[in-house]
Structure 1
Amino acid sequence: MTISTMEHDKEMETAIRESAHGILRSVSPITRLREWRGSDPGYERSVWAKLAEAGWPGVFVDEAYDGMGLGLRAACAIAIEVGRHPLPEPYMAGAWHASLLLNALPESALRDELLSSLATGSAVIGVAWQNASGAAALTQEYSGGELSLNGERHWVYPARADGWLVLSDDDALFWVPADTANVVTTPHTRVDGSLCATLRFENVRIAGEQRLAQGASVQSAIGHAHALLRVLQAAELLGIAQESFDTTLAYLKTRVQFGKPIGANQALQHRMVDAYLQLRLAQAVLEEFLAKYDAATLEDPALFEAECARTKARCAYAAQHITRLAIQFHGAIGYTDELDVGLYLKRMLHLTSWLGGIRENRRLAGRHRGTESAASTRIAYDTYPLDTDWNALPEDEFRAVVRDFTARNYPSQYRHPSQRLHWDEIKDWYFALSKQGWIAPAWPREHGGMGLSPDKLIAFIEEMEAHGVARTPDQGIINIGPVLIRYGTDEQRQRFLPKILSGEHVWCQGYSEPNAGSDLASLRTVAVLDGDEFVVNGQKIWTTLAQDATHIFLLVRTDKTVKKQAGISFLLADMSTPGITVRPIRNIAGEEEFCEVFFDNVRVPKDNLVGQLNEGWTIAKALLDFERLFVGSPSQAQYALNQLRAIGEQRGLFADAAFQDRYVEAMLNVMDLQSLYGEYADIVRRGEPLPPSVSLLKIWATETYSRLCMESVEAAGEQGGDDVPIEAGDMLLHPARRLFNSSITTIYGGSNEIQRNILAKVVLELPTG
């Protein structure tokens, strides 16, 4: 899809949402939900006619049958708005469900007539396809030119339709008008006040031409229609989540207790940040699905069904989480019927249970993805020139090339390490990546990077993690390189970037200090300008692999007379400079990963100042954003997921349904992280500054990683307490040490608690006191 096409689609989507917003508020004040709930038929035909005038029932119907033919993205735009402003009319059950199913059937006069009646709003048509456990099967008999139907169908939406598309147990699909003799309709109320029905067919006679289709094609059509319907449900659930979140956020800002807004309470702030994280994950997953659908990249039916189920599971979880939180945060009034938040909770429950709840959809999503084995196809990487546009390659081909490169170049003895490797262990791999031009996959091509698009970057990460590739000493790649690209002078870029790429310079980060971990602005390392040099004195701590580094970038205080953020500068220093001393620190795993770095009258050239004097805080924050983007990448979580899968296979745990559920949930959490990561990676690729909300990535990635590591220890059983590796296929795993490693990820780059404080203040704009 071209950029112009994407922009046109976005404009159309915005226009449709604005139109839907206006229609809903003009024809259906939210008070109508209370007026019509539990009533029969539960909605108004006059309002249905207005929706038809706006083209809603015909969104999926081709123009040849009087429809709009706009498709899934337009329908999702409407559904999101309905989620934010629910209405009684069964737009999804009474029009979209049937039109999706009819579209998937062979053409016929009856099919075309039904599509036209849907599009014009002259008919409300439901789908009767499922039974309750132990209910009578629905059978058909053919005699004397007529068909006879006997049996039952349950949970039929809407209860009051002009007719239904009825599925028999032998995979035949019939059109049965509501006034057909011997069709007994028994309605009952859903939790949101809408009506569904049990249909009983007692020797119901219909003409042969009312059978629309029969055989395997019917099940295929039903499956496809239900898959898309799950996406539409996801869109409405997302709208419910958004409205419930916005309502609750506004309440926290205005409701005063004990003399201050309740939103100033840190515990409530952190919970709202977590709710916002769930909302953003749901938005990212739905948008990623729509982009794949628009680009026709979901051709495999099993994968298509899995992706639809995954989309619903994530949006349903967000809506469930946020609507329940809304009830609690509104206090006792949230429990009353007079407040609208209860209406959203009930609508969420109805939509979540229809076509399967969160766990059922997770299982459906995992049924395809969970059984995938690692691909073994390889394409020789050296048949491609170094200046190949990797983004132009089909993803399968790109993955095969990465797979071949990794298999031929990565040292086998360092696969799946349980700790960070030192430079002397990993340098040959670094040099191999550098020679191939792959050491900086996210850097722009004009600066020596691969310039990978988000989808290719995630594919690159996944293939590396699947092979068990260790993290390189990468502070130059992930931090100082992007900073110099954005803030450095031309001379600094020319002097430093090529040597980062080649591995001649290995960088470490001098940010944290004793008693000033997450509070970076309280640093006390001082730099005094003396002629053409700064004289630096002080100490840095928690400096990763400083013993291996040739250079360090550090924050220093250059003015003590101004507020603490204003007097900070950003310097680059050669680690061989006299006066720099490095002392390794042994961590709980017994490894020397971190170091203290002491500066005693260290002289740093003035030309190594990045940006302006005393304006380093801006650069420092940007670098932290880059770091949070990197820490928020799916790489560590993907590694931990691979470890969990290997342990599960080695111990035969996939035969246990409970383990399968936990594994699939973890797998989908990693996939959803990839969806959110892709959005932020695309911002960097476009050269735009990262928004403060990038901290969401850091929180979700590190906490997902930590949960996965703990799950691996549990799955390993007795071996989870061993200090020796587990042999699992071609992998050597050490669950306990990996758990140790996960503990620090929620601390570095600013602890997750600090990230939640930042998000609450800067993004959600909650009161501070």
Structure 2
Amino acid sequence: MDDHRELLKDSVRAFMAGQGGRARARALRDAASQGSPGEHDRAHWRQLGELGCLGALAPQAQGGLELDVGDVAGMVQEMGRALAPEPFVQAAVGAVGLLSLVAHSPLADTLLPRIIQGRLIPQLAWTGPGQAEPAPGSARLVPADGHALLQGLRHEVLPGQGDGWLVLAQSGGAPVLCWVPAGTAGVTAVVHERVDGTTHAEVRFDRVRIEPRQQASGPLLNEHTITRVADNCRLCTAAELLGAAEPALQATLHYLRTRKQFGRPIGSFQALQHRAVDLYAQQRLAQAAIDSATSAARAGEAWSIACSRAKARATRAALAICREAVQMHGAMGFADECEAGLHLKRALGLAAWLGNEPAQRARVAGLLSRRGEMAGDEPAAIRTTTRMDWKALDDEEFRLRVRDVFEREYPEELRNPPRRLRWHECRRFYQRLGELGLLAIAWPQAFGGAALPPGKQLIFMQEQDRWGVARAPDMGITMVGPGLIRYGTPAQRDRYLPAILRFEHMWCQGFSEPDAGSDLASLRTRAVRDGGDYVIDGAKIWTTFAQDATHMFMLARTDPTAKKQAGISMLLIDLATPGITIRPIRDIAGNDEFCEVRFDGVRVPLDALLGQENDGWTVAKSILASERIYLGNPRQSQNALKRLDAAAASLGLRADPVFMDRLTDLRLDVWDLVSLFESFAAQVQRGEPLGPDVSILKLIGSETYQRLAQLGIEALGADGARTGAVRLGEASDDLMSLFMNSRPATIYGGSSEVQRNVLAKHVLALPDA
């Protein structure tokens, strides 16, 4: 996030800290429960004006700051944290946004300064009954002698009480804005209490007299610009939702750490830990979706999709977090004195405005349908045959050149394979990528990598999935290389890194053991010093493609007297060394991807040690972080989504609203995963070490992949149990292999349960049992 955006958030946070937002929210609620809906705090509203918040989006010519909507979203998030009950988004984003479209009119000249200074609370009246979108046509302005008459009904007018109504209406087929002061004849307003103590109104305008100075229209006030203002409101409401949820999650985590039951903190119970991690995952996804929207282009359907996606995810996250805050606090959570209920009520109130989560999914599906086929499926129109500085290309040229490489170099018969490929099947293609400098796309250029920024890494993955390019069956690029770059000696880097890039060495991982599994601290394989060698005895299991590998990076216990983690070292092993036996293991899909590897008196030189002796746990955590960002990358889910899209089209399922809602839900999951991945990839690109929170990528990515594969099987109906390719119209696909490939995704690289344990302990700081 930009520094100026952080400064804005800090200033709003400091202001809100002393304003008693929760107390004002309670006061409004209590007044409403007594049958007299309370007025908003006018003094606080004026202070918001003095701080510049109310004019953040307004033109500078009108006294505003003319900031970006992303800046305002950051401010609103802080207001959400404080549960500030004022109708900020409706006034400062909705009303100001609409008036800015008629900025040079007498109406804007009159209203904007008063709103910006905090002297006016406008009520935004722009949606009709049963509508989540602004609809000018459901209120009409009819010309009369020297004035006009306003007729129509406005629904969900927020706030329910204020100084008058800013009405979006239609006149002569064009949108028009009208200002109707409170108390005007012909207006009937029915005020309804909302669950969070705020109010909204249903307002009927019956031949309300509108003078020329009370109305404004113009070419900038049109369907597209009105939609853009509504999308700004959706984005800022998403930020407010997330803000309202964040303190609820923090309070819940504190309660889990401190509340004791049966003599131990309830946060040590694994069931509660895993539920807390899932809430944290939703929070991170919501932040990623909001960040993605704030950096998107500010117009067109892509912008609308980004804002609806942010609102959908923030709604899901906030409601889940706040519901669980009540549940995890137990009986106290249902008591009024606990603030969990305040946060839940605010989330409910914000979720309903401008469309709840299902409405946002339906909107995204409709926007995608109007866009037609996804862009970017056309064949490459540029040839690439030589190595180049890929990092220096602009994104469009980079995409086309990568696309050309895949289309020309990758064998047609290997596209979207039903299983992971063996090395002999795809070796030539990956060697060709190496020749072109597209092998180690995230490595620094000094070590032979392409050093691609996160955006280009995602483009590369998208193009892989577009063409059905299989993942390379080698861990040298994704794990050993980053480990050597960070912990290796100059001699080790010189020896191993070029060989990895030339595929002279093929690497497998030796972490899990027959009785250890994911519990790496319980390793029993030993490496004992004997002169200038280590002598290794023990066994590794679930070692992917060890039968094809030339080398293994492994963990072994080098100090049996030390604490479990402290006595482990990382070793680099040549699998041709005497004493090593490899036994393939067949999986449930009938493939022999896994192996058991036994070590009987295997001698390796002391310079096989990577990092410091007995500090292999540190090296392993770093390598696993590299693996988890790789295993958590969105390409598997993107590929599954693309195949599911194609199957839906061929099977006629796009006309099934239930199926399409489920598919859109998963599509949003994939997009949010992409945004979250981008944030971690940017961290790597900046040279910052990955922390334990990277486990969230592996957790979300693998479970999203499984849900997509499951829906694919269900889409086939009676053919859902068939193996091999199933005919889908003029095409065919093997969706059963997709399902089978997705099953181990939540196991390898640390199971989902292990990832939740890591996040619970090292990110959420929940206590041990």
Class of the TM-score when normalised by the shorter of the 2 chains:
over 0.9
**Residue type of the partner of 1:608?**
A
**Secondary structure at 2:491 match in 1:** helix
Partner in structure 2 of residue 22 of structure 1: 17
Partner in structure 1 of residue 62 of structure 2: 65
Say yes or no: does 1:244 pair with 2:248.
Answer: yes
Bigger shift: residues 336-345 or 380-389: 380-389
**Secondary structure at 1:187 match in 2:** strand
Provide the C-alpha distance between the structure 1 equivalents of 2:24 and 2:169, rounded to a whole number of angstroms.
39
1:226 corresponds to which of 226, 230, 248: 230
Provide the C-alpha distance between the structure 2 equivalents of 1:344 and 1:427, rounded to a whole number of angstroms.
55
Unaligned runs of 5+ in 1: 1-5, 293-297
Q: Deviation string for 1:464-522 (max 9, x for gaps)? A: 11211101123001110100000001111111111111111111111111111111122
Q: Deviation string for 1:42-70 (max 9, x for gaps)? A: 31222222222222211112332122333
Q: Give the 3 Å change call, closer, same or farther, for CA 545–421 of structure 1 in structure 2.
A: same
Partner in structure 2 of residue 456 of structure 1: 456
Say yes or no: does 1:128 pair with 2:128.
Answer: no
Partner in structure 1 of residue 724 of structure 2: 724
Partner in structure 2 of residue 703 of structure 1: 703
**Secondary structure at 1:253 match in 2:** helix
Q: Deviation string for 1:159-179 (max 9, x for gaps)? A: 222222212254332222223
Partner in structure 1 of residue 376 of structure 2: 375
What TM-score does the superposition give when structure 1 sets the normalisation length? 0.94
Partner in structure 2 of residue 342 of structure 1: 341
Deviation, structure 1 residue 351: 0.8
Provide the C-alpha distance between the structure 2 equivalents of 1:764 and 1:37, rounded to a whole number of angstroms.
37
Partner in structure 2 of residue 414 of structure 1: 414
**Secondary structure at 1:548 match in 2:** coil
Bigger shift: residues 411-420 or 261-270: 261-270
Partner in structure 2 of residue 295 of structure 1: none
Q: Give the 3 Å change call, closer, same or farther, for CA 186–215 of structure 1 in structure 2.
A: farther
Preserved CA contact (<8 Å) 1:67 1:120: no
Deviation, structure 1 residue 339: 2.0
Alpha-carbon RMSD: 2.2
Q: Give the 3 Å change call, closer, same or farther, for CA 27–617 of structure 1 in structure 2.
A: closer
Q: How does 1:255-270 map to 2 (within 5 A)?
A: 255-270=259-274
Partner in structure 1 of residue 152 of structure 2: 151
Deviation, structure 1 residue 138: 2.4
Q: How does 1:112-511 map to 2 (within 5 A)?
A: 112-133=109-130, 137-169=138-170, 170=173, 171-213=175-217, 217-292=221-296, 298=297, 300-369=299-368, 371-379=372-380, 382=383, 386-390=387-391, 392-511=392-511
Provide the C-alpha distance between the structure 2 equivalents of 1:369 and 1:29, rounded to a whole number of angstroms.
41
Provide the C-alpha distance between the structure 2 equivalents of 1:30 and 1:153, rounded to a whole number of angstroms.
25
**Residue type of the partner of 1:24?**
Q
**Residue type of the partner of 1:699?**
L
Partner in structure 2 of residue 85 of structure 1: 82
Deviation, structure 1 residue 649: 1.4
**Residue type of the partner of 2:357?**
I
Partner in structure 2 of residue 607 of structure 1: 607
Partner in structure 2 of residue 524 of structure 1: 524
Q: Deviation string for 1:645-704 (max 9, x for gaps)? A: 121112111110111111111111011111111111122222222111111111111111
Provide the C-alpha distance between the structure 1 equivalents of 2:24 and 2:148, rounded to a whole number of angstroms.
45
Q: Give the 3 Å change call, closer, same or farther, for CA 67–452 of structure 1 in structure 2.
A: same
How many residues matched?
758
Preserved CA contact (<8 Å) 1:538 1:599: yes
Partner in structure 1 of residue 756 of structure 2: 756
What TM-score does the superposition give when structure 2 sets the normalisation length? 0.94
Q: Deviation string for 1:202-252 (max 9, x for gaps)? A: 211112343311689432232111000001101110111101101111111
Preserved CA contact (<8 Å) 1:237 1:316: yes
Preserved CA contact (<8 Å) 2:102 2:218: no
**Secondary structure at 1:485 match in 2:** helix
Provide the C-alpha distance between the structure 1 equivalents of 2:356 and 2:203, rounded to a whole number of angstroms.
23
Deviation, structure 1 residue 303: 0.7
**Residue type of the partner of 1:744?**
P
**Residue type of the partner of 2:95?**
A
Q: Give the 3 Å change call, closer, same or farther, for CA 290–300 of structure 1 in structure 2.
A: closer
Deviation, structure 1 residue 610: 0.8
Q: Give the 3 Å change call, closer, same or farther, for CA 286–354 of structure 1 in structure 2.
A: same
Q: Deviation string for 1:709-738 (max 9, x for gaps)? A: 111111112222111212457965322222
Partner in structure 2 of residue 3 of structure 1: none
Deviation, structure 1 residue 268: 0.8
Unaligned runs of 5+ in 2: none
Partner in structure 2 of residue 663 of structure 1: 663
Preserved CA contact (<8 Å) 1:366 1:664: yes
Q: Give the 3 Å change call, closer, same or farther, for CA 93–653 of structure 1 in structure 2.
A: same
Q: Deviation string for 1:95-142 (max 9, x for gaps)? A: 331001122336323223322121111221122112215999422221
Deviation, structure 1 residue 337: 2.4
Preserved CA contact (<8 Å) 2:70 2:295: no
Partner in structure 2 of residue 593 of structure 1: 593
Identity %: 45
Preserved CA contact (<8 Å) 2:389 2:450: no
Partner in structure 2 of residue 44 of structure 1: 41
**Secondary structure at 1:269 match in 2:** helix
